[in-house]
Amino acid sequence: MFNKRVKIKDLLQQDANEQEVTVMGWVRTFRNNQFVALNDGSTNNNLQVVLELGKFDEELLKRITTSASLKVTGIVLPSQGKGQKLEVKATLLEILGDSDAEKYPLQPKKHSLEFLREIAHLRFRTNTYGSVFRLRHALAFAVHKFYNEKGFLYLHTPVITASDAEGAGEMFRVSTLPFDNPPRNEDGTINYKEDFFGKATNLTVSGQLEGELGATAFGEIYTFGPTFRAENSNTARHLAEFWMIEPEMAFCDLEDNMNLAEEFIKYIIRYAMEHNREDLEFLAQRLADEEKQLPQDKRSELGLIEKLEFVVNNEFERITYTEAIDILLQSPAYKKKKFQYDVKWGIDMQSEHERYLVEKHFKKPVIVTNYPAAIKAFYMRQDDGCEPGRETVAAMDILAPGIGEIVGGSQREERLDKLEQRMKEMHVPAEDLWWYLDTRRFGSVPHAGFGLGFERMVQFVTGMGNIRDVIAFPRTPKNCEF
Ligand code: 4AD
Ligand code: MG
């Protein structure tokens, strides 16, 4: 058996018991022809492997270069060195794979995140990305744990669809037709009847519509999968391919929906704080160091861990869209004309407005509800008793400090006539969504759900400023490497 090894994380938690162990990993550094810092990805803490002088062949020692992979068998002993309680004194050492130190792009020094993005195939081997991706894993696991404990069914919704769930037209087309000479209808438009699926199809922007079909049978479901948006947004918060968690609940209104979202976010943060403390501490320090370069007024008031503690221990603020607009209109920022975009009832709030509410005014996560119908998707439940011209829907967005919108959701329009009328007004083709409308024909129920952008959540927990640094291989406009 090859893989009879201990993981370095587990080993470092043991006592220096003078037993023999085998470890495998990649060389981080090699000092004085004696000390190898070995890392196997289970933790940022390297294992010190000690090579007794004269015991190993010179030729072998020369091959211990940065990022070479090693198999080491040795005895676990108390360490003389600072900052580590044990080390492994090697009895056997095998090079599993050489690494040409001259060509290896990751030198043992500080590299910029921008540079590391260009070598995303190797960046997992750095401490920063090691911590980020272990935390990403922990959060993903916590998502499933949370919903499983609540009795939600994990529904795998399709990646290829023929509908536009958000009605925003930001879809990637999926087609096997020849680009240079596609079959055409008489009017010159492309004849998708000849395409693979016999109709125009695209990558999904959201699993919600199929999720609603599940919720109106199983009661409570969630999806967790990749979603795709062909929006040309080159920002630190947008990806063309991102992961979304979408719970959907029958017999549930807007308030239940907000309660679930708040409980969910707190749960997964708490899970990461309990299970990945070391990685969080590493990233907290990284962020603190980064912020030292900023002028005092640009630095965060709280460190990363204090921020997370604050979020799990305090209630999110809940305000209506109308109240949010009033706060903005009363704000010193508005009065001093500090906002680039105008503020009035009906606007789709810009990120500067959301940040003001969350970071300056409330200084905590804020749930904004009851947005104008005109700026929200067709499926949201129309609020009753609105003033004419001020129609709103039972929507809720959660805005998080440093991130902006992290959750978007709503109670759904369960009344068939109102839904059909809204679809007509918004030019959403009812004939394509006959199956969706059937849920409103056969035992319709009040129901609600939301979508949490997983990468934005990982950004929030890790403190990483750019979304490209929390997904393994980011897809953004003009960028699809790896
Ligand atoms: O607000 P959105 O568009 O809502 C939906 O897709 C609904 N169908 C969800 C639902 O009710 N089931 O997207 C939900 C979340 C956003 O709040 C944001 O966190 C994230 O998905 N998101 C993105 N994350 C990264 N890159 C993008 N381009 C994103 N677009 C949305
Ligand atoms: Mg949204």
Q: Are residues 241 and 268 in the same domain?
A: yes
User: In this predicted structure, what is the pLDDT of residue 33?
Assistant: 94
- What ligand 1 atom has the least distance to the C-alpha of 165? 8
pLDDT tens per residue across span 158-179: 999 999 888 888 999 999 999 9
Judged against a pLDDT cut of 80, whether residue 448 lies above it is answered with yes
Helix (H) or strand (E) holding 226: strand 220-228
- Two structure tokens written together for 287: 């962020």
CA distances, 15 to each of 24, 50, 84, 87, 91 (Å): 19, 17, 11, 10, 19
Q: How far is residue 121's CA from residue 116's CA, in Å, rounded to a whole number?
A: 9
SS3 192: helix
What's the CATH number where 274 sits? Answer: 3.30.930.10
User: Hey, which bits of 86-192 come out as E strands?
Assistant: 86-97, 153-154, 160-161, 173-174
Pocket test for ligand 1, best of 231, 242, 454 (most atoms within 8 A of CB): 242
Q: How far is residue 461's CA from residue 276's CA, in Å, rounded to a whole number?
A: 11
User: In this predicted structure, what is the pLDDT of residue 299?
Assistant: 86
Q: Are residues 64 and 9 in the same domain?
A: yes
Q: Are residues 257 and 403 in the same domain?
A: yes
Out of 107, 133, 160, a domain closes at: 107
User: In this predicted structure, what is the pLDDT of residue 1?
Assistant: 66
Q: Are residues 164 and 235 in the same domain?
A: yes
Q: How far is residue 260's CA from residue 409's CA, in Å, rounded to a whole number?
A: 11
**Residue pair 366/314 in contact by the 8 Å Cβ criterion:** no
Q: Are residues 403 and 366 in the same domain?
A: yes
Domains: count for the chain: 2
Atom 2 of ligand 1: nearest residue by CA position? 408
139 confidence band (pLDDT: 50, 70, 90): very high
Out of 107, 139, 156, a domain closes at: 107
How close is the Cα of 244 to the center of ligand 2, in Å? 12
User: In this predicted structure, what is the pLDDT of residue 195?
Assistant: 98
User: In this predicted structure, what is the pLDDT of residue 169?
Assistant: 80
237 located within any domain: yes
How close is the Cα of 452 to the center of ligand 2, in Å? 10
pTM for this model (two decimals): 0.96
Atom 30 of ligand 1: nearest residue by CA position? 238
How close is the Cα of 218 to the center of ligand 1, in Å? 23
By C-alpha distance, which of 370, 411, 466, 470 is closest to 261? 411
| Residue bearing tokens 């990749």 | 226
What does R_g of the chain's alpha carbons equal in angstroms? Answer: 27
Burial class of 210 by CB neighbour count within 10 A (0 to 12, 13 to 18, 19+): buried
Domain span holding position 27: 2-107
User: In this predicted structure, what is the pLDDT of residue 4?
Assistant: 86
| Start-end of H helices in 99-225 | 113-118, 127-149, 208-218
How close is the Cα of 359 to the center of ligand 1, in Å? 21
pLDDT tens per residue across span 182-233: 999 999 999 999 999 999 999 999 999 999 999 999 999 999 999 999 999 8
What's the CATH number where 95 sits? Answer: 2.40.50.140
Q: Are residues 375 and 410 in the same domain?
A: yes
210 located within any domain: yes
115 located within any domain: no
Judged against a pLDDT cut of 70, whether residue 477 lies above it is answered with yes
By C-alpha distance, which of 411, 481, 399 is closest to 444? 411
Atom 17 of ligand 1: nearest residue by CA position? 407
177 located within any domain: no
Q: Are residues 103 and 129 in the same domain?
A: no
Q: How far is residue 231's CA from residue 277's CA, in Å, rounded to a whole number?
A: 36
User: What is residue 315's DSSP assignment?
Assistant: P
Judged against a pLDDT cut of 80, whether residue 148 lies above it is answered with yes
69 confidence band (pLDDT: 50, 70, 90): very high
User: In this predicted structure, what is the pLDDT of residue 13?
Assistant: 94
Q: What is the mean pLDDT of the chain?
A: 96
Q: Are residues 96 and 212 in the same domain?
A: no
User: What is residue 424's DSSP assignment?
Assistant: H
Out of 64, 79, 107, a domain closes at: 107
Helix (H) or strand (E) holding 270: helix 254-275
Helix (H) or strand (E) holding 265: helix 254-275
Query: Rounded mean pLDDT of 269-281?
Result: 98
Q: How far is residue 379's CA from residue 13's CA, in Å, rounded to a whole number?
A: 52
**Residue pair 303/350 in contact by the 8 Å Cβ criterion:** no
Atom 4 of ligand 1: nearest residue by CA position? 408
pLDDT tens per residue across span 387-446: 999 999 999 999 999 999 999 999 999 999 999 999 999 999 999 999 999 999 999 999
| Start-end of H helices in 276-355 | 277-292, 304-313, 321-330, 332-335, 351-355
- Two structure tokens written together for 288: 């603190």
Q: Are residues 54 and 165 in the same domain?
A: no
Q: Are residues 393 and 277 in the same domain?
A: yes
Q: Are residues 350 and 413 in the same domain?
A: yes
481 located within any domain: no
184 located within any domain: no
Percent of the chain with pLDDT over 70: 100
How close is the Cα of 408 to the center of ligand 2, in Å? 4
Judged against a pLDDT cut of 80, whether residue 244 lies above it is answered with yes
Query: Rounded mean pLDDT of 69-92?
Result: 93
Q: Are residues 317 and 408 in the same domain?
A: yes
135 located within any domain: yes
Ligand nearest to the Cα of 405, by number: 1
185 located within any domain: no
